Structure 1
Amino acid sequence: MTQLTGKSSVKVDGTEMLTDVDSTLNVGGVSREPVTGPKGVQGYRETPEAPTLTTTVRHTEDTDLIALSRIKNATVITQTDTGDAYLLRRAFVTDTVEISGGNIRLNWSGMGLERL
């Protein structure tokens, strides 16, 4: 029977983060927007999109929120329990870091994404 993805892990520069079981990966590439005129759709317009990753990190006494917010030029790997893995090159945290209920939401982007 085929195993379906149920959870994923995240490593930053080789260190596994204490994360929630799921994360959201947008592989980036090109988004397309329809262009319409008086008689309907005339075509589409392409816009380049950077890859993004959203993770929820657990807060502990050793978690440095300021250090998390300063991460840039990192190697970020996300791997699923089915063995599928992606590497976000020269990754950086895109938004300010907030803690809520013991959880820290980290939004990442990077210069490219590779399937491992």
Structure 2
Amino acid sequence: MANGSNNRRAGKIYLKVDGVQRDAKGKFSYNLGIGKREAIVGADGIHGYKETPQVPFVEGAITDSVDLDLAAFLSADNVTVTLELANGKTVVFANAWSASEGKVECEEGEVPVRFESRKQGIEQK
């Protein structure tokens, strides 16, 4: 379409940490950190809701490579993480830190990763 509409909703993704693209395996998820709302229920009915903060995060798995300094990657702090989605959105986490456990699955060189941040943004192409 003339307005740039795209029928693709999912598929290829690209993960970059401080501008360096990593080998994303998939199964990525993210949370924008929007407040979580929970109902306040009293004996006489619903009183309203409370809202508590959530941690903005992006998590998934990458493939290990010879040029990846795994110890430095897993201890990263104050980095910018971007997740580019097939639907045209780019999710950006500024001043992020690694919250990964450090586990590596050797059979396929899979490294589960999680980055958390205080700030996030979403851009749409």
In 1, the alpha carbon distance for the partners of 2:114 and 2:46 equals 34
TM-score normalised by L of structure 1: 0.89
The counterpart of 2:94, out of the listed 81, 89, 92, is 89
CA distance in 1, matches of 2:100, 2:30: 16
Query: Which of 95, 100, 120 does residue 113 from structure 1 map onto?
Result: 120
Of 33, 42, 47, 1:42 maps to 47
1:70 deviation in Å? Answer: 1.0
CA distance in 1, matches of 2:45, 2:73: 47
| Cα distance in 2 between the residues matched to 1:85 and 1:22 | 16
**What is the number of residues matched between the two proteins?**
116
Q: 2: CA distance between counterparts of 1:72 and 1:38?
A: 46
Q: How far is the alpha carbon of 1:17 from its aligned partner?
A: 0.5
Structure having the larger proportion of residues in strand: 1
Distance 1:19 1:33, change over 3 A: same
Any stretches of 5+ residues in structure 1 without a counterpart? none
1:50, 1:112 within 8 Å by CA — same for their partners in 2? no
Structure 2 counterpart of 1:66: 71
Offset at residue 76 of structure 1 (A): 0.7
Q: Which runs of 4+ in 1 moved over 6 A?
A: none
**Alignment equivalent of 1:4, drawn from 3, 9, 23:** 9
Q: Whole-Å Cα distance in 2 between the matches of residues 29 and 57 of structure 1? A: 26
The answer on whether the counterparts of 2:26 and 2:60 sit within 8 Å (CA) in structure 1 is no
Corresponding residue of 1:29: 34
**What fraction of aligned residue pairs are identical, expressed as a percent?**
24
Q: Which residue among 100, 110, 122 is the counterpart of 1:103?
A: 110
RMSD of aligned residue pairs (Cα, Å) = 1.6
Say whether the 8 Å CA contact 1:7–1:22 is kept in structure 2.
no
Output the CA distance in 1 between the equivalents of 2:35 and 2:13: 25
Task: Give the Å deviation of 1:80.
Answer: 1.1
Unaligned stretches of 5+ residues in structure 2: 1-5
